[in-house]
């Protein structure tokens, strides 16, 4: 067996103790020498390699770039270096940084194992991509909230004028029918903006301490009707599931949207599996999932046996209006609503999917801690009686101000209306009679509704408050949670809703 003879053991000791692997191949590709590091990197004892030709030791290596570079070095004496993923005979692989140099005996190969570095680089790239995706979702959310806010303002004007027009008993029946169609279309548009606000996490909500098992069990009959007879539902609850703090209606949206999405992915026949459980998210998970949060969570898992999601589409599936479904099969808002609701409730969601194998959506919601006080939903009531009180109305959108003023006056209220917060303060101070209620937009160009309320209450400490907004990223809604005791009316609103909320605010003790 031909090997390299070291006349001085000093040099062999140096090579054998190097951190880099060292190999020598003869001109006929025979292994002449491996140091201990190269032996370890090869995952085979040197006795199996010394005296054996390189391509006999590693079947299939002839088709690789590594082989071509070694050949160039042996035949043309061209040195080279590269990063190479080497495939071992047991099916595993490793990454090596290689330097290939011509020597008198043939070729000298120095190798540094960079497998761990490559793994960390891949994890970093994945984390960076997830962070970019998270930042993009935040930007889209802000855009969606702004669009919904402005759109809601316009819808308020449309619906308000329709309500006023329908109050005219002299209009023709045919015109009344047209007004009804306008009203229905505007209300449908309002539902669309609510979906956008759900994605943008600007909904007002009333959270409660709930057990997800109870809600899911209650909704299983509805889910069965939604998905059809050909799709089986498998329900596996964790009997020891912890409670979480969430608006029950919001969680129903999450559950139904995930099941509808699973149904559409399955098509003709298959299975949707719904599971719950408790879990702990640790630091390692957070490192690889930037959206995740460390702590104790309850988990909802919805899996399907459907078509799966293409890898390139997974980063896009929570974006509003993105859909891979056929035209007319979906709006592209279902998963974006799920995403918005989960984030609004301090949770997160992840997806695992393989094409033609199905998908699994895992929703994580924080466990309810013992020091968290659940907030019971307030009954809005159904106040239908007319009023006669004085209302200070403040909105910096003139069209909304005018139509809301007319609606309140048609309900019997005396209205002091202004689009200028400073003027509202002066009206409150100078008006000679009692002002019973201030109805104000939350977010205005010059101030906020709560800040204005604090100034007005300096002269009117007993005045009641009612807030309105197309979205509510402000002091009225802290982290998406409606403050207890705050009277709030979403834009756009109907006359009935305005009447009910106004009376509720006035009659609150």
The CA-based angle 167-170-173, given to 5 degrees, is 85
pLDDT at position 328 is: 41
pLDDT band at 478 (very low <50, low <70, confident <90, very high): very low
Tell me the average pLDDT across 423-451: 89
User: Cα separation of 379 and 56, whole Å?
Assistant: 80
Q: Report phi then psi at 418, rounded to 5.
A: -155, 150
| 43-69 pLDDT, tens digit each | 888 888 999 999 999 988 898 999 999
Residue 200 above 60 pLDDT?
A: no
State how beta strands 270-281 and 231-236 pair.
parallel
User: Cα separation of 218 and 290, whole Å?
Assistant: 33
Concatenated DSSP letters of 295-308 = EEEEEEEEEE-S--
- pTM beyond 0.85, yes or no: no
Range from 174-183, 282-291, 489-498 that averages highest in pLDDT: 174-183
Range from 177-191, 276-290, 342-356 that averages highest in pLDDT: 342-356
Work out the number of other CB atoms within 10 angstroms of the CB of residue 287: 12
On the question of a cis peptide bond just before residue 206, with omega within 30 degrees of 0, the verdict is no
pLDDT at position 437 is: 95
Tell me the average pLDDT across 439-446: 82
pLDDT at position 383 is: 40
Q: What is the mean pLDDT of the chain?
A: 80
Residue 325, C-beta contacts closer than 8 angstroms, at least 6 positions apart:
264
pLDDT at position 372 is: 38
């Amino acid at each position: 067996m031909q090997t390299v003879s070291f006349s001085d053991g000093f040099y062999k000791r140096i090579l054998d103790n190097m951190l880099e692997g060292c190999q020598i191949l003869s001109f006929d590709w025979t292994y002449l020498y491996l140091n201990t590091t190269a032996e370890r990197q090869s995952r085979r004892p040197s006795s199996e390699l010394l005296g054996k030709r390189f391509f006999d030791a590693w079947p299939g290596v002839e088709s690789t770039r590594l082989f071509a570079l070694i050949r160039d070095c042996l035949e043309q004496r061209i040195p080279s270096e590269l990063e190479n993923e080497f495939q071992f005979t047991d099916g595993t692989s490793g990454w090596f940084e290689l330097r290939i140099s011509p020597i008198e005996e043939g070729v000298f190969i120095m190798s540094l194992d960079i497998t761990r570095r490559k793994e960390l680089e891949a994890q970093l790239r994945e984390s960076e991509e997830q962070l970019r995706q998270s930042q993009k979702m935040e930007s889209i959310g802000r855009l969606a909230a702004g669009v919904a806010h402005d759109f809601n303002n316009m819808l308020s004007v449309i619906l308000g004028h329709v309500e006023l027009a329908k109050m005219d008993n002299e209009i023709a029946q045919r015109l009344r029918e047209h007004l009804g169609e306008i009203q229905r279309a505007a209300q449908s548009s309002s539902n669309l903006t609510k979906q956008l606000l759900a994605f943008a996490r600007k909904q007002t909500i009333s959270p409660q301490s709930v057990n997800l098992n109870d809600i899911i069990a209650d909704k299983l009959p509805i889910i069965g009707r939604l998905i059809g007879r050909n799709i089986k539902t498998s329900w596996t609850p964790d009997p020891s599931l912890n409670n979480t703090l969430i608006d029950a209606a919001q969680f129903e949206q999450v559950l139904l949207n995930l099941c509808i999405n699973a149904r559409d992915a399955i098509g003709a026949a298959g299975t949707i599996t719904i599971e719950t459980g408790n879990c702990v998210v640790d630091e390692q998970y957070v490192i690889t999932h930037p959206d995740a949060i460390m702590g104790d969570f309850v988990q909802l898992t919805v899996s399907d046996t459907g078509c799966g999601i293409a890898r390139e589409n997974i980063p896009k599936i929570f974006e509003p209006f993105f859909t891979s479904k056929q035209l007319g099969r979906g709006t592209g808002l279902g998963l974006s609503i799920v995403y918005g609701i989960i984030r609004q409730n301090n949770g997160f969601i992840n997806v695992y999917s393989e094409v033609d194998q199905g998908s699994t959506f895992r929703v994580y919601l924080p466990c309810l801690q013992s020091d968290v006080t659940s907030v019971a939903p307030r009954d809005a009531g159904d106040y239908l009686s007319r009023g006669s009180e004085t209302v200070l109305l403040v909105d910096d959108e003139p069209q909304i101000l005018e139509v809301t003023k007319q609606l309140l006056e048609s309900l019997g209220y005396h209205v002091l209306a202004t689009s200028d917060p400073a003027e509202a303060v002066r009206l409150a101070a100078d008006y000679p009679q009692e002002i019973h209620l201030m109805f104000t937009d939350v977010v205005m160009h010059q101030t906020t509704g709560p800040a204005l309320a604090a100034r007005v209450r300096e002269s009117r400490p007993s005045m009641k408050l009612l807030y309105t907004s197309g979205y509510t990223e402000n002091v009225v809604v802290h982290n998406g949670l409606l403050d207890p005791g705050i009277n709030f009316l979403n834009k756009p609103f109907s006359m009935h809703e305005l009447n009910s909320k106004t009376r509720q605010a006035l009659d609150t003790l």
